[in-house]
């Protein structure tokens, strides 16, 4: 990664320039049996489309606050990086009533209705499928995002010192987030090419950093596991071997 990177979006651009074909996020849901692997290029394409949706269709702008009501999931990672690309402040598990926009999963749709701004719903179904019926008061992400552009350019340059993330009551700027992610990567022993398996939730900084930001800052990749407690210990050992995992955080 480049020393000049000062936002999560910068880190993703550097990863794309370095090796677009390598895996970046491999996602498992051990409640459904789902496995999804996204290369840097595929992940960056999802981020670009989502950032275009945010900026172009939802009229989001730097300084807006988005309540992100999603679990640890590959699409959650996409939204986090898309918000960084636009300059929108993400409040993980935030109060929808105080947010300019809300992005909610199936278990948080009722809470998300408290937002008076734009509302986006994600089914979190395998393969990013649509809802059978669009939830009342929401637009379906799976319907809205495919038509968005594959390249993104912000209308306004993102300020690295502006608020970028609020999680567990602590606000971080983009620059602070990157520096803490780099420090966490060093603590975890991550380096370019390392592969970290995380079963941690994303309701606090440790889970978010371990499961996304630290591997990204190090030039590594993550095997993100949801509902890992449903996996037998011997199956976890097999996954570690088959996914060429070098570090685990469960």
User: What CATH number is given to the structural domain containing 218?
Assistant: 3.40.50.12780
- Nearest to residue 209, comparing CAs of 245, 184, 179? 184
The C-alpha angle 211, 217, 220, rounded to 5 degrees, equals 70
Q: Is residue 169 part of a domain?
A: yes
Helix (H) / strand (E) element for 233: namely helix 233-242
Q: Is residue 2 part of a domain?
A: no
Q: Note down pLDDT in tens along the chain; length 250 residues.
A: 678 999 999 999 999 999 999 999 999 999 999 999 999 999 999 999 999 999 999 999 999 999 999 999 999 999 999 999 999 999 999 999 999 999 999 999 999 999 999 999 999 999 889 999 999 999 999 999 999 999 999 999 999 999 999 999 999 999 999 999 999 999 999 999 999 999 999 999 999 999 999 999 999 999 999 999 999 999 999 999 999 999 999 9
Q: Is residue 170 part of a domain?
A: yes
The answer to whether 66 and 88 are in contact (CB under 8 A) is yes
Q: How many CB atoms lie within 10 A of CB 201?
A: 13
Helix (H) / strand (E) element for 83: namely helix 74-86
Range of the domain at 229: 8-249
Q: How many domains does the chain have?
A: 1
What is the token pair recorded at 188?
């975890």
Q: Is residue 53 part of a domain?
A: yes
Helix (H) / strand (E) element for 89: namely strand 89-92
Q: Is residue 1 part of a domain?
A: no
Q: Is residue 83 part of a domain?
A: yes
Q: Say what the pTM is.
A: 0.98
Q: Is residue 3 part of a domain?
A: no
| Cα-Cα end-to-end distance for the chain | 26
């Amino acid at each position: 990664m480049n020393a000049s990177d000062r936002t999560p979006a910068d880190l993703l651009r550097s990863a794309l320039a370095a090796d677009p074909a390598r895996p970046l996020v491999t996602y498992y849901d051990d409640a459904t049996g789902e496995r999804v692997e996204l290369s840097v290029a595929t992940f960056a394409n999802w981020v670009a489309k989502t950032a275009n949706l945010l900026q172009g269709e939802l009229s989001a702008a730097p300084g807006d606050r988005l309540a992100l009501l999603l679990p640890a999931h590959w699409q959650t990672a996409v939204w986090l990086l898309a918000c960084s690309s636009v300059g929108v402040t993400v409040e993980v598990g935030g109060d929808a009533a105080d947010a300019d926009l809300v992005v909610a999963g199936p278990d948080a749709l009722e809470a998300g209705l408290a937002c008076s701004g734009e509302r986006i719903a994600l089914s979190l179904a395998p393969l990013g499928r649509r809802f059978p019926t669009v939830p009342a008061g929401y637009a379906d992400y799976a319907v809205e995002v495919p038509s968005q552009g594959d390249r993104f350019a912000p209308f306004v340059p993102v300020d690295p010192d502006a608020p970028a993330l609020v999680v567990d009551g602590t606000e971080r700027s983009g620059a602070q987030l990157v520096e803490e992610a780099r420090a966490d990567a060093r603590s975890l022993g991550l380096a370019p090419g390392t592969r970290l398996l995380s079963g941690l939730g994303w309701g606090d900084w440790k889970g978010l950093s371990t499961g996304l930001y630290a591997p990204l800052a190090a030039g590594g990749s993550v095997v993100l596991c949801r509902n890992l407690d449903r996996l037998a210990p011997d199956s976890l050992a097999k996954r570690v071997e088959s996914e060429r995992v070098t570090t685990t955080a469960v």
